[in-house]
Amino acid sequence: MAKKPTSNRPTRARPGKAQPDKGYVRTEDAPVLPPPPSEAGISGWLWHNVLASCSDFTSIGSAVRSIVMAFFTVFVGWLTISTAWGLFDFAVLSAVWSDPDGIKREACFTIDQGGQLPSGWHGACWPFVAAKMKFMMYGPYDIDQLWRVNLAGIIGLIGLAWVMIEPLPYRRYVGIFLLTVYPLLTIILLYGGGFDVSLMTLSIIFMIGLALITFGRLAGRGLLGETMAAFASAGGIGGWLLVGYAVVMLILGVDYGLRTIDTNQWGGLLITLVVAITGIVASLPLGIVLALGRRSSMPIARILSIVFIEFWRGVPLITVLFMASVMLPLFLPEGVNFDNLLRALIGVMLFSAAYMAEVIRGGLQAMDKGQYEGADALGLSYWEKMRLIILPQALTHVIPGIVNTFIGLFKDTTLVSIIGLFDLLGAAQSAISDVAWATPVQAHTGYLFVAAVFFVFCFGMSRYSIYMENKLSRGRKH
Amino acid sequence: MIKITSAIAGVATAILATSAFAGAHGDTTLGQVQAKGFVQCGVSQGLPGFSNADDAGNWAGIDVDLCRAVAAAVFGDASKVKFTPLSAKQRFTALSSGEIDILSRNTTWTMTRDTQLGLNFAGVNYYDGQGMMVPAGLGAKSALELDGANICTNTGTTTELNITDYFRANNMSFNLVAYEKADEVVAAYDAGRCDVYTTDRSGLAAQRTKLTSPDAHVVLPEIISKEPLGPVVRQGDDNWFNIVRWSLNAMINAEELGITAANAASMANDNNPSVKRLLGTEGNFGEELGLSNDWAMNIVTQVGNYGESYERHVGLNTPIKLARGVNNLWSQGGILYAAPIR
Amino acid sequence: MLGSIVFGLWWIVENTVTNLATQNKSVGFGFLSQSAGFQISTTLGTWLFDYEAGSSTYLDVYYIGIVNTFVVAFFGIFAATALGFTLGIMRLSQNFVLRAFSTAYIEITRNVPLLLQLFFWYFAVLRSLPNRRGKIEIFEGAAGINITGLYLPAPIPAEGFSATMIALAIAIAITMGINRFARIRQHETGKPFPVFWVGTGVLVLIPLAVFLVTGSPLSWEFPEFRETGPILRRGYQDGMGMLIIPEMMSVWLALTLYTAAFIAEIVRAGILAVNKGQTEAALSLGLKQGKVLQLVIIPQAMRIIIPPLTSQYLNLTKNSSLAVAIAYPELVSVFAGTALNQVGKEIEMIFMMMSVYLTFSIVTALFMNWFNSKVKLVER
């Protein structure tokens, strides 16, 4: 095997030229030396990452700054370590892990209180969480029917994972399944189907829907004249909405032989997830409509969208929930009423739609003007332009923003406990007031558990958002 | 044209809303209840002894028993009832909007509520009064020693007004901390935020069970208000009002006549005509209400009489330990006096 | 579209009118002049409006709610900004300890719901404080804390204290003058003027001198703690010193710690967004490190920081409504909670409550528009 020419290494000696005999020109590479001790190893790392900022004594000013910095560093270090250690000690080292004798709160009593643990003990009482686990996850949901919740959860998880893992095939279809069939399936599983619907009304709605679609088709072909053509798409959309509604209600109206479980029986993490997911799924389309409305050239649409968005963004969620729970019944005709959960859902939906609209508007604004002009130049109609060109790009751009809104919404679901729904925090509050487990550490343990659950969800989502951001910005650079 | 399309859409929306959520229609509450197959009953969000759900969602308490009694009267099946937990703020709106059929949520009968809210009180199932609880360590024997106290209570009731009036009348100073939910009051009082916890005496007895050491607290003798608690229905449906009122009366009369869940069936052919009328073996009292004649029989066999319900949920053998007191029958020194069935 | 919206609105109004009629309710604001018969915890609001159960009106309750909302929002904004900027800069620090602490703090605080943090500070931490008969002394008894609140010395201005306040106002005016003079002089001659030191001197010395000359007309009322007497009378005495109720402390603490994490992220992003070339160019001009920060980086970072910062302030103000869960008598709690339960005018009262928040949002939005147009990059 022939020796490769070392052309890619810088050589002083060039072939074909006489090398002048200069003493100061190196003819071979300098030996690679290890980095100086101050740069390598633990001491080097310490120097660069900790000590360097505290050891500048070149002038009085910087000396003072260094000393202050040193003290501050020591203080912060102590704070970090003591907090982390305290938490670890509370949650793991000192914690009571099991209650084999089934003596409930006495398992977590100190000697002074008549228990086993040493005086002054302060640790988590995990058997309390274990005993309340079913209540905090599902609320008072019937125990023998829990498989329904679990099944819905597992299908949702698999679907979500499928959509998020890129190499898998048919991700698009799984996504469509998640947004259309899955919610229906979940409602049937959780509630039990068999909604009280009137076939008569449904068929009327279905008919109206069909008529509107027909009208839309005809008008779209220009068969009904110029003025009608303008309303073709509106008619079409309205028609499809009505038909969709009728079909959905029909599906929900079928009796599947599942026992009906009222939303009063739902609770815990189940409610948290139901509220958060419904909020996000419903707020997306509403948000898109509002964002388009706000950027529309029609003054009425624009003003209405602005008023709507700014109203909901201007008031705290808790007032919205109060309004939904106290005032909504006043707005509806007598005899029409929503249950407590549905009311909270409506409040959350409207509220998050306004925030979503602003996120999406950001995406629309960030779009290159050329995209709009290009679409116009192709002769696309407004809806075609939005559907085919603008929205797909704009929405992809703002995925991190959407995820952040979702994180905010997820945390905000805790507020429904104030209007009397037992979400994860509400269920935990209620569990904490159970006398059978009353100990001085009961509240701490309960809150720590809930905080951990929320942290896992929110932190996971924020990591995903960062990952998407990096991926998208990489894509944009190419 | 846009107007027409919109109008159609509007009408359609209206139909959708009504059809989707109104459920079955009937002109009367009884008709609606029978059509949907259960009684929807508004209860508290958790008051042991009155209406409280366990971890599995089973409701129990004397307020709950009243709802079950109505279900037993209407359907002959005390389990055909669904419960809606309501906050103090939501309760009247929930009733007047038709979300619930009966409000049985330790609600005080006052003139304003009876006359101005479009509601009717169908009777009293517990005579209560506002009291105060203090830690025994405080050494207070009377509410008049509480000058300068910190007082915890929950909002949404007449409680804040009563306590303010009481302290002002006796020229004492105090601080009031009013929480949104009862659980929070208990937690704050238990932590020592307040010296005094004030609410209805039944509520004090119930909430006391949630304290870390219930025995270290005493309820002071003063009763600073009259609080007759009872079931509420909408105005304008006298038949439904009667059903609720007489379901309660049936429970009280059953106790007076010595009819219990255990002996009801055997007493149906008793010689006492009052017993026969109550249990439906004589007269047409049930049909007059639009129910079957064994309506009261169903109540007593499935729910029990008033005394049984009381002892089961709040009596001396329960953690709540409330003596009958004024809530005893008139013949036993109390003030329970139900109109006769005849 | 317009038609269906008008139809929808009409439908809602129609239903509401029918429903109110069946409930025998009327619409109107007459209830505002009725007297409110309930007691409210001692707060700045009740002090400002001399609240007394039975004689004060529901309108007073409304004002008290507004004042209490803004008090906690104001102090929250103040503290969250200080903490947030510190954490944001710490997160960019070369120092590993500071960086790690800041990162951990931000990630944990941001990802746990505010309501939970509020419950933690109120219910879990409150329990560990001494009870009403005990105390933890601060500053050798000048202040103290127990479960009923934080007791601080209260300033009692005597006659002639207004002179000091006037002097303070004059000092502020003088400082602004000096600032202006310094800027003009630097523009013209290039000589810097130590504005900071001179300004601080003026601000401190002039009022202090006036204060001493007028004979120190300010006394302090210290909280009084009794260990003897009837048991209910032991502990800190009502009306002595300044009381900050634990509900307010918890709300303030929770809002501050939560919002600070978001502000820290905004500050970090703002500083990172300033192009590195700007720093290098400034350094190569011979500016000192401190001057680079002061003259080049901070002004540019602030342009990016301020809009999201304002929306965080807005969020903090709105989030103060969570205080309803722990009985701090702010707007939602005292007006839409306690008062609403007594009066039962849902529509009017919720409308009044929302309009406070909306007004605040709109004012902030107008300020932001003004600010954006002021700092907008003028491209030449």
Helices A268-294, A340-366: inter-axial angle, 10-degree rounding: 40
For residue C376, give Cα distances in angstroms to A359, A394, B94, B258: 22, 25, 52, 87
Handedness of CA A76, A79, A82, A85 (dihedral sign): negative
Residue type, C220: W
- Same domain as B152, residue B297: no
C12 CB within 8 Å of a chain A CB: yes
* Of residues A208, A228, A419, nearest to B12 (C-beta): A208
Q: What are the residues whose beta carbons fall under 8 Å from the beta carbon of B136, sequence distance 6 or more? A: B215, B216, B217, B218
> Pairing relation of β-strands B102-108 and B39-43?
parallel
Burial C218-236 (b: 16+ CB within 10 A, else e): eeeebbebeeeeebbebbb
- For range B57-65, the mean pLDDT: 91
The β-bridge partners of C352 are none
Q: What are the residues whose beta carbons fall under 8 Å from the beta carbon of C346, sequence distance 6 or more? A: A326, A327, A330, B93, C340
- Please write the tens of the pLDDT for every residue from C19-49: 888 777 778 888 888 888 888 888 888 888 8
Q: Say how many Å lie between the first and final Cα of chain B, rounded.
A: 66
- Over pLDDT 70: what percentage of chain A? 92
Distance from C-alpha of C54 to C-alpha of A380, rounded to nearest angstrom:
69
CB count in 10 Å sphere of residue C345: 21
Beta carbon pairs, B and C, within 8 Å: 132
**What residues of B are in contact with residue C132 (Cβ under 8 Å)?**
150, 192, 195
Instruction: Indicate whether B3 pLDDT > 50.
Output: no
In a domain, B18, yes or no: no
**What residues of C are in contact with residue A316 (Cβ under 8 Å)?**
318-319, 321-322, 332, 357
- Same domain as B243, residue B178: no
CB count in 10 Å sphere of residue C316: 24
The token pair at A85 is 């250690």
The answer to whether the Cβ–Cβ distance between A336 and B18 falls below 8 Å is yes
- For range A138-142, the mean pLDDT: 86
- Which of A120-124, B338-342, C123-127, C280-284 has the lowest average pLDDT? C123-127
The gap from C-alpha C72 to its chain's centroid, in whole angstroms, comes to: 5
Q: What is the DSSP string of A197-209?
A: --HHHHHHHHHHH
Torsion of CA C11, C17, C20, C24, to 10 degrees: -150
- For range A17-37, the mean pLDDT: 73
- Please report the pLDDT score of residue A337 as a whole number: 67
**What residues of C are in contact with residue B7 (Cβ under 8 Å)?**
3-4, 7
**What residues of C are in contact with residue B92 (Cβ under 8 Å)?**
23, 344
φ, ψ of residue B164 to 5 degrees: the values are -65, -45
Long-range contacts from B6-13, C-beta under 8 angstroms, 24+ separation: B6/C1, B6/C2, B6/C3, B6/C4, B6/C7, B7/C3, B7/C4, B7/C7, B8/A208, B8/A212, B9/A238, B9/C4, B10/C3, B10/C4, B10/C7, B10/C8, B10/C11, B12/A205, B12/A208, B12/A242, B13/C4, B13/C8
C8 CB within 8 Å of a chain A CB: no
Which secondary-structure segment (H or E) carries C226?
Answer: strand C225-226
The answer to whether the Cβ–Cβ distance between A318 and C119 falls below 8 Å is no
In a domain, B210, yes or no: yes
The answer to whether the Cβ–Cβ distance between C327 and B93 falls below 8 Å is no
B183 CB within 8 Å of a chain A CB: yes
More confident residue, A317 or A108: A317
Supply the DSSP symbol for B184.
H
The fold of A265-421 is MetI-like fold (1.10.3720)
Nearest C-alpha of chain A: how many angstroms from B219?
Answer: 19
The β-bridge partners of A361 are none
The token pair at A76 is 């912060």
Instruction: Indicate whether A354 pLDDT > 80.
Output: yes
φ, ψ of residue A3 to 5 degrees: the values are -75, 135
Give, in degrees to the nearest 5, the angle at Cα A401 between A396 and A404: 135
- For range A398-427, the mean pLDDT: 88
The token pair at C340 is 């609403």
Give, in degrees to the nearest 5, the angle at Cα A282 between A278 and A286: 160
Superfamily of C28-139+245-351 according to CATH = MetI-like (1.10.3720.10)
Instruction: Indicate whether A474 pLDDT > 70.
Output: no
**pLDDT tier, B308 (very low <50, low <70, confident <90, very high otherwise):** very high
Q: What is the DSSP string of B78-95?
A: TT-EEEEE--TTTHHHHH
Nearest C-alpha of chain B: how many angstroms from A90?
Answer: 21
Query: With contact defined as beta carbons under 8 Å apart, do A438 and B187 qualify?
Result: no
Supply the DSSP symbol for A31.
P
Number of domains in chain B: 2
* Of residues A139, A329, A429, nearest to B183 (C-beta): A429
Long-range contacts from B212-218, C-beta under 8 angstroms, 24+ separation: B212/A435, B212/A438, B212/A439, B214/A435, B214/B319, B215/B136, B216/B135, B216/B136, B216/B137, B217/B133, B217/B134, B217/B135, B217/B136, B218/B133, B218/B134, B218/B135, B218/B136
Q: How many residues does chain C have?
A: 380
Distance from C-alpha of C290 to C-alpha of A396, rounded to nearest angstrom:
41
**What residues of A are in contact with residue B97 (Cβ under 8 Å)?**
329-330, 332, 334, 337
**What residues of B are in contact with residue A337 (Cβ under 8 Å)?**
21, 97-99
- For range B263-284, the mean pLDDT: 89
Which residue in C4, C9, C349 has the most chain B C-beta atoms within 10 A of its own C-beta, making it the best mutation to test that interface? C4
* Of residues A80, A326, A454, nearest to C113 (C-beta): A454
Nearest C-alpha of chain C: how many angstroms from A189?
Answer: 29
The token pair at B312 is 């089961």
Query: With contact defined as beta carbons under 8 Å apart, do B288 and B335 qualify?
Result: no
- Over pLDDT 90: what percentage of chain C? 29
Burial C45-63 (b: 16+ CB within 10 A, else e): bbeebebebeebebbbbbb
Query: With contact defined as beta carbons under 8 Å apart, do B278 and B250 qualify?
Result: yes
C120 CB within 8 Å of a chain A CB: yes
Mean pLDDT, all residues of chain A: 83
Q: Say how many Å lie between the first and final Cα of chain C, rounded.
A: 44
The token pair at B321 is 């330990």
- For chain C positions 315-354, those within 8 Å of chain A (CB to CB) are 318-319, 321-322, 324-325, 332, 336, 340, 346-347, 350, 353-354
Q: What are the residues whose beta carbons fall under 8 Å from the beta carbon of A251, sequence distance 6 or more? A: A184, A188
Give, in degrees to the nearest 5, the angle at Cα C253 between C249 and C255: 120
- For chain C positions 127-146, those within 8 Å of chain B (CB to CB) are 127, 131-132
The residue among C296, C299, C298 whose CA lies nearest residue C280 is C296
A25 CB within 8 Å of a chain C CB: no
> Pairing relation of β-strands B196-200 and B81-85?
unpaired
Distance from C-alpha of C230 to C-alpha of B107, rounded to nearest angstrom:
37
* Of residues C2, C16, C116, nearest to A425 (C-beta): C116
Query: With contact defined as beta carbons under 8 Å apart, do A426 and A383 qualify?
Result: no
- Same domain as B118, residue B50: yes
Mean pLDDT, all residues of chain C: 86
Query: With contact defined as beta carbons under 8 Å apart, do B292 and B76 qualify?
Result: yes
Query: With contact defined as beta carbons under 8 Å apart, do A320 and A353 qualify?
Result: no
- Same domain as B292, residue B253: yes
- Same domain as B241, residue B119: yes
The answer to whether the Cβ–Cβ distance between B6 and C42 falls below 8 Å is no
The answer to whether the Cβ–Cβ distance between B118 and C126 falls below 8 Å is no
Q: Which chains reach chain A with 3 or more Cβ–Cβ distances below 8 angstroms?
A: B, C
Provide the 3-class DSSP secondary structure of residue A247: helix
In a domain, B146, yes or no: yes
Residue that terminates a domain, selected from B197, B225, B253 = B225
Q: Which domain holds residue B167?
A: 131-225
**What residues of B are in contact with residue C341 (Cβ under 8 Å)?**
88-89, 155-157
CATH number at residue B208: 3.40.190.10
- Which of A99-108, B250-259, C160-169, C352-361 has the lowest average pLDDT? A99-108
* Of residues B53, B83, B97, nearest to A329 (C-beta): B97
Give the residue on A whose Cα is nearest the Cα of B212.
A438
Instruction: Indicate whether B71 pLDDT > 90.
Output: yes
Q: What residue ranges in chain B does DSSP mark as E strands?
A: 39-43, 52-53, 59-60, 81-85, 102-108, 119-121, 126-128, 130-135, 149-154, 174-179, 196-200, 217-219, 227-234
- Please report the pLDDT score of residue B7 as a whole number: 47
The domain segmentation of chain A, as residue ranges, is 46-88, 94-136+442-478, 265-421
For residue B279, give Cα distances in angstroms to A240, B275, B295, B297: 58, 6, 8, 5
- For range A52-59, the mean pLDDT: 74
Query: With contact defined as beta carbons under 8 Å apart, do C319 and C253 qualify?
Result: no
Mean pLDDT, all residues of chain B: 86
- Which of A233-237, A439-443, B113-117, C186-190 has the lowest average pLDDT? A233-237
Give the residue on C whose Cα is nearest the Cα of A424.
C116
The answer to whether the Cβ–Cβ distance between C112 and A455 falls below 8 Å is yes
Nearest C-alpha of chain C: how many angstroms from B281?
Answer: 40
Query: With contact defined as beta carbons under 8 Å apart, do C97 and C246 qualify?
Result: no
The domain segmentation of chain C, as residue ranges, is 28-139+245-351
**pLDDT tier, A17 (very low <50, low <70, confident <90, very high otherwise):** low
The answer to whether the Cβ–Cβ distance between A204 and B15 falls below 8 Å is yes
Which residue in A289, A318, A332 has the most chain C C-beta atoms within 10 A of its own C-beta, making it the best mutation to test that interface? A318
Distance from C-alpha of B324 to C-alpha of B316, rounded to nearest angstrom:
9
Distance from C-alpha of C43 to C-alpha of C329, rounded to nearest angstrom:
8
In a domain, B208, yes or no: yes
**What residues of B are in contact with residue A340 (Cβ under 8 Å)?**
84
- For chain C positions 18-37, those within 8 Å of chain A (CB to CB) are 18-20, 22
- Same domain as B116, residue B151: no
- For chain A positions 343-402, those within 8 Å of chain C (CB to CB) are none
* Of residues A196, A265, A337, nearest to B24 (C-beta): A196
Which residue in B146, B176, B225 has the most chain C C-beta atoms within 10 A of its own C-beta, making it the best mutation to test that interface? B176
- Same domain as B55, residue B80: yes
- Which of B103-112, C286-295, C322-331 has the lowest average pLDDT? C286-295
Q: What are the residues whose beta carbons fall under 8 Å from the beta carbon of B181, sequence distance 6 or more? A: A420, B45, B87, B154
Query: With contact defined as beta carbons under 8 Å apart, do B264 and B280 qualify?
Result: no
* Of residues B23, B45, B87, nearest to A196 (C-beta): B23
Residue that terminates a domain, selected from B204, B225, B246 = B225
- Please report the pLDDT score of residue C339 as a whole number: 86
**What residues of C are in contact with residue B2 (Cβ under 8 Å)?**
1-3
The answer to whether the Cβ–Cβ distance between A340 and B15 falls below 8 Å is no
Q: What are the residues whose beta carbons fall under 8 Å from the beta carbon of A28, sequence distance 6 or more? A: none
Residue that terminates a domain, selected from B177, B194, B225 = B225
Q: Indicate the burial class of A310 (C-beta count within 10 angstroms; 0-12, 13-18, 19 or more).
A: middle
The answer to whether the Cβ–Cβ distance between A443 and C127 falls below 8 Å is yes
The token pair at C28 is 């109107």
C344 CB within 8 Å of a chain B CB: yes
Residue type, B227: E
